[in-house]
Amino acid sequence: MHFDPTVLADYWPLLLQGAWLTIQVSVAAMAIGYAAGIVVALIALMPGWPLRLVTASYVETLRNIPFIILLFVVYYGLPFAGIRLPATLVGTVALALFASAYYAEIVRAAILALPRGQFESARAIGMSPASAMWHVVAPQILRALVPPSTNMTLTMMKESAVLSSITVPELTYQSLVVQGNTFAPFEVFAAVASIYWLIASVIAEASRRLERRVGTAQAESVSRNPIAERYLSLVARRAS
Amino acid sequence: MGFKLDYLFSILPSLMNAALVNIRLAAIIMLLSVVLGTAFTIVRSLKITAVNMIIAVIISFVRGTPLLIQIFIVYYVLPAIGLDLSPEVAGVSAIVFNSMVFVSESMRGGLATIETGQIEAATALGLPPRAIWLKVVLPQLFRRIVPVLINEATIVVKGTALLSVITVVDVLRTAQQIASANYRPFETMIGSALVFLVINLVISLSGRMTEARFATARI
């Protein structure tokens, strides 16, 4: 067989429409999921074990079942509860639900990682509450928040491919449509994988810039000796 | 129509039976991805520039595209170049390829935490590279990445549910067959969610127990 990208000529608009929906659904699910995640994290940090039990069950349940199963639970569960929504909306809700569990854990960990007394110390040296929050507490929380959050957003964007199984016309769904019309799996999936790859690269690049802005430490290369590096490092040493 | 709990109980046996397929495939996938991931890591450690550049592209590809697309690529594209794989084999290969990269990436992190003195001592003693890998580096590395491997195992179990899309008769596909026969899709899906929840909680809990054992062995 040979690679012939021209078979896709008529189908580019379809694939790009799909990609656009993938982006829209991911952004919407991120916004809803993050808001829900913050609420869950704040409840988890409140005193009393009953609340913690509820939030821990929420997080563990959502994290331990496959997203495709969760999607079908929501897909059949909403009509069961008398709520009828279009598939795209159902998919977005399921994706937000899935992501909220992970975001909640990220937010909780970031708040717990904050050293005790930062806010009080800032107040003690005469900063106003707003200023202490803005200049002392928020930057530290953001620093712990950004890398895992962008990572999760990337995972969620990739997970949105599963929405194709409830007929949401996103990128993966369109790829199956085009594959059915052209019988050119190589070209179709090469194109679709590249589009996903591109979206992922944009997210990765955005996260790199964001990390630089909030000042997340990037201690990638630890100084080591050449003997140990032969075994313990996977990157070639740059000639200095 | 209300939620039928007795119906949910009545389908659990067949769902648990189907879960054996997911568990079997996940076990094969984990075994292969740990072995291949280790080999992959050792190849990367040789630091052959051209090879590592290709590997960097592979890693970026695997991390930047959905697992479902990777499964479709193996399932639809390989037959087109003359490799006709059964759905099970195609699915297992796709997930192994994906998981292998993640195992190797966590090994990269684990390697950075091994003390350099260990390698210096082993080299000074004149151990050949094979022995340094097998007797010095890998035993410590595996102990360190046990938590990551446990986590990866739960991810792999969840990944096997995607194989229903390429006609592997697993929990999800069995559930869909049952649901279309009984017109009770919601209870059926809750049932399959429960099955996965139990499998993954068992993996996490036994993982935490193993971790505690390894933690004491480390001292």
| Beta-carbon count within 10 A of A209 CB | 9
- Asked if A165 has any chain B CB less than 8 Å from its own CB, the reply is yes
Q: Looking only at Cα atoms, what is the longest distance across chain B?
A: 75
Each residue's pLDDT tens digit, A196-211: 999 999 999 998 898 8
> Given this model, what pLDDT does residue B212 score?
81
Between B18 and B213, the more confident residue is B18
Residue to test with chain A: of B57, B59, B77, most A Cβ within 10 A: B77
- Side chain identity, residue A236: A
pLDDT tens-digit readout, A132-177: 888 888 888 888 899 999 999 999 999 999 999 999 999 999 999 9
Q: Is B139 left (phi over 0), alpha (psi -120 to 50) or beta?
A: alpha
pLDDT at B138 over 70: yes
Which residues between 111 and 150 in chain B have a beta carbon less than 8 angstroms from any beta carbon of chain A?
111-112, 114, 116-120, 123, 129, 132-133, 137
Per-residue pLDDT, A104 = 96
DSSP B135: I
Read off the tokens for A51: 């609340």
The tens digit of pLDDT for each residue in B189-204 reads 999 999 999 999 999 9
Q: Summarize the confidence of residues A118-126 as an average pLDDT.
A: 90
What pLDDT is recorded for position B136? 93
Q: Which domains does chain A carry?
A: 6-239 (1.10.3720.10)
Confidence of residue A240 (pLDDT cuts 50, 70, 90): very low
Q: Does A228 touch chain B (CB under 8 A)?
A: yes
Contacts of B167 (CB under 8 A, 6+ apart): B87, B173
pLDDT tens readout for residues B153-190: 999 999 999 999 999 999 999 999 999 998 899 999 99
Q: Are B41 and B107 in contact (CB under 8 A)?
A: yes
Using pLDDT thresholds of 50, 70 and 90, give the confidence band for residue B216: low
Portion of chain A with pLDDT greater than 70, in percent? 93
Residues whose CB is less than 8 angstroms from the CB of residue B135 and which lie 6 or more positions away in sequence, other chains included: B122, B127
Q: What is the mean pLDDT of residues A70-78?
A: 96
- The pTM of the full predicted model, rounded to 2 decimals, is 0.91
List helix spans (H) across chain A: 12-44, 49-64, 67-80, 87-113, 118-124, 129-132, 138-159, 171-182, 185-214, 226-232
Residues 51-70 (B) with a CB less than 8 A from some CB of A: 52, 60-61, 63-70
Closest Cα in chain A, distance from residue B165 (Å)? 8
Burial A66-105 (b: 16+ CB within 10 A, else e): bbbbbbbbbbbbbebeeeeeeebebbbbbbbbbbbbbbbb
Which residue is listed with tokens 């069995």?
Answer: B174
Torsion of CA B89, B91, B92, B93, to 10 degrees: 80
Residues of chain A contacting B156 with CB distance shorter than 8 Å:
none
- pLDDT exceeds cutoff 80 at B207: yes
Chain A interface includes B8 (CB < 8 A): no
Q: Which residue of chain B has the CA closest to A231?
A: B45
**What pLDDT was estimated at residue A1?**
58
pLDDT at A219 over 60: no
The pLDDT value given to residue A222: 53
Residue A7 reports pLDDT greater than 60: yes
Cβ atoms of B81 and A187 within 8 Å: the answer is no
Q: Going by C-beta distance under 8 Å and a sequence separation of 6 or more, which residues neighbour residue B112? A: A222, A232, A233
Instruction: Compute how many other C-beta atoms are within 10 angstroms of the C-beta atom of residue B203.
Output: 20
Tokens read off for B32: 């292969």
Least confident range of A18-32, A132-146, B17-31: A132-146
Question: A30 to chain B, minimum CA–CA distance in Å?
Answer: 17
- State the angle between helix axes of B87-111 and B138-160 in degrees (0 to 180), rounded to the nearest 10: 140
A69 touches chain B (CB under 8 A): yes
Q: What is the DSSP letter of B20?
A: H
Shortest Cα–Cα distance, A45 to chain B (Å): 23
**pLDDT tens track for B58-92:** 999 999 999 999 999 999 988 888 888 899 999 99
CA atoms within 13 A on the CB side of A37: 29
pLDDT of A223 reads 56
Give me the residues of A, 124-163, that contact B with CB < 8 A: 154, 158-162
- Asked if residue A238 has pLDDT above 70, the reply is no
Nearest CA in chain A to B186: A76
Let me know if B49 is exposed, middle or buried by CB neighbors in 10 A (0-12, 13-18, 19+). exposed
- Considering only alpha carbons, which residue of chain A is nearest residue B56? A235
Any B CB within 8 A of A172 CB? yes
- Selection from B202, B118, B146 nearest residue A227 by Cα: B118
Interface with chain B: mutation pick from A196, A231, A235, highest number of B CBs within 10 Å: A231
pLDDT digits (tens, 9 = 90+) for B102-133: 999 999 999 988 988 899 999 999 999 999 99
Let me know: does A207 contact A157? Beta carbons within 8 Å: no
CB spacing of A189 vs B200 below 8 angstroms = no
ipTM exceeding 0.95? no
Spatial contact of A17 and A169, defined as CB atoms under 8 Å apart: yes
Sign of CA dihedral B98, B69, A193, A90: negative
Query: What is d(CA B190, CA B196) in angstroms, rounded to the nearest whole number?
Result: 10
Q: For residue A221, is pLDDT > 70? A: no
> In chain B, whose CA is at the least distance from the CA of A156?
B66
Q: How many helices (H) and strands (E) does chain B have?
A: 10, 0
What phi, psi does A141 have (nearest 5°)? -65, -45
In B144-203, the residues whose Cβ lies within 8 Å of chain A are 154, 157-159, 161-162, 164-165, 171-172, 175, 179, 185-186, 189-190, 192-193, 196-197, 200-201
- CA B159-B25-A75 angle, 5° bins: 35
Q: What is the pLDDT of residue B218?
A: 55
Q: DSSP characters for B138-206? A: HHHHHHHHHHHHHHHHHHHHHHHGGGGGGT--SHHHHHHHHHHHHT-HHHHHHHHHHHHHHHHHHHHHH
pLDDT value at position A114?
85
**Summary mean pLDDT of chain A:** 90
